[in-house]
Amino acid sequence: MLKIDFSPQQLSLLRSDHAGELGAVNIYKGILWCARDPAVVAFANCHLEVESKHLASVESLLIPKHRSTFSPLWVVAGRALGLMAVVGGKNFLFSTIASVEEFVVEHYKQQLPFFSGTVQDLLKEMMVDENTHREDAAHRSSRRHMLWEILIKKGCGLAVSASSKC
Rounded to whole angstroms, the Cα distance separating 64 from 66 reads: 5
Residue 145 lies in a domain: yes
Would you state the pLDDT for residue 7? 96
pLDDT grade for 143, boundaries at 50, 70 and 90: confident
Q: Specify the DSSP class assigned to residue 70.
A: T
Residue 4 lies in a domain: no
pLDDT grade for 117, boundaries at 50, 70 and 90: very high
In tens, the pLDDT along 40-94 reads: 999 999 999 999 999 999 999 999 999 999 999 999 999 999 999 999 999 999 9
Residue 135 lies in a domain: yes
Residue 156 lies in a domain: yes
Would you state the pLDDT for residue 10? 98
Would you state the pLDDT for residue 144? 85
By residue count, the chain amounts to 166
Query: In the chain, pLDDT over 70 holds for what percent of residues?
Result: 98
Residue 2 lies in a domain: no
- Residue 137 belongs to domain spanning: 9-165
Residue 1 has pLDDT above 70, yes or no: no
CATH of the domain at 40: 1.20.1260
Average pLDDT of every residue of the chain: 96
Q: Which of 147, 28, 142, 37 is nearest to 83 (CA)?
A: 28
Say which residues have a Cβ less than 8 Å from residue 79's Cβ, sequence separation at least 6: 26, 27, 29, 30, 33
Rounded to whole angstroms, the Cα distance separating 19 from 8 reads: 17
Domain count, the chain: 1
In tens, the pLDDT along 23-52 reads: 999 999 999 999 999 999 999 999 999 999
